[in-house]
Amino acid sequence: MTPHACIMVVDDQQDHLQAVQLILEGVGYDVILQTSAAEALNVLQTSEVDLILADIAMPHMNGYQLLDEVRRHAKWSTIAFVFLTARALDSDIRYGKSLGVDDYLTKPIQPEDLLATIEGKLRRRQHLEQSLKVEYASSSGDLPLVVGQLSIDPDRHQARLSAQPLALSVREFALLEYLARNVGHVVESRQLLQITHGFESADATEARELIRPLIRSLRHKLGCNEMEAGYIETIRGLGYRMVEPSER
């Protein structure tokens, strides 16, 4: 078990909260229970949380919206996020994964399976934080990277498009910066996965599925619709390449 890890469980069903609390505290995790997504966001302002385990069907703000809010903040973007929900349709699972959730579990679940998933995600979080620290240290003192109207300042962890600031998560910024450093060159999805998630995968399909939501989000923030590549070109079967839009 990852030592001293803190897990926030968000669900509007008290009986489910208490059942999960018993499982997690039984193996030594610190547990924070919240009955609404809004309350969870308030607690995140002052508490150090390593993983969020959230239901989807909650009133006022659902689990999808909670994930979106968490990923909008750079200081929370490395928090592992797992859905634990009764929604078991394939369409629900695909949608959750497209939003960038770290895993999608369905109720009911065996305690052993829940604990194994949590431990795996916490280990990945540790690797991600270590990877980001290395990337930040290696980029310290760099001049801004400029590609067309896009400017990336590694030192300040800022990106601008046509002088307008972009609101990027830690993973989005790491992906954009790495592509900009390799402008014009194809970068494999598995290589990008190492940069954004901090772990290697021998499965090219898994790597593509994890990277694709980040690429989609970046394209949207760079002003492209779903049919446009913009600055980030897809090289089918290989990965992605950054280009100036005028080069396409």
Across the 248 residues of the chain, what is the mean pLDDT of every consecutive 10-residue run? Answer: 82 95 95 96 93 95 91 77 91 82 91 94 74 51 81 87 88 91 91 81 80 89 77 90 74
CA atoms of 179 and 240, how far apart (whole Å): 8
Instruction: Identify the helix (H) or strand (E) that includes residue 9.
Output: strand 6-10
CATH topology of domain 141-247: Arc Repressor Mutant, subunit A (1.10.10)
Residues forming CATH 1.10.10.10 domain(s) in the chain: 141-247
- What is the model's pLDDT at position 127? 67
Range(s) of the chain covered by CATH 3.40.50.2300: 6-132
Residue in 4, 11, 6 with CA at minimum distance from that of residue 57: 11
Tokens coding 206: 């898994």
What confidence score (pLDDT) does residue 246 get? 62
- The whole-angstrom separation of Cα 29 and Cα 121 is 14
Q: What is the pLDDT of residue 4?
A: 73
Topology of domain 6-132, CATH: Rossmann fold (3.40.50)
Taking 3-state DSSP, the helix, strand and coil percentages for the chain, each rounded to the nearest 5, stand at 45, 20, 35
CB-based contact 1:27 (threshold 8 Å): yes
Could you give the residue ranges of the DSSP H alpha helices within the chain? 14-26, 37-44, 63-72, 90-98, 111-139, 170-181, 189-197, 204-221
Cα dihedral 210, 214, 219, 222 in deg (nearest 10): -170
**Roughly how many angstroms between the first and final C-alpha of the chain, as a whole number?**
49
Partnered with residue 151 across adjacent β-strands are 146, 160
Q: Is 233 helix (H, G, I), strand (E, B) or coil?
A: strand
Residue 147's beta-bridge partner residues? Answer: 150
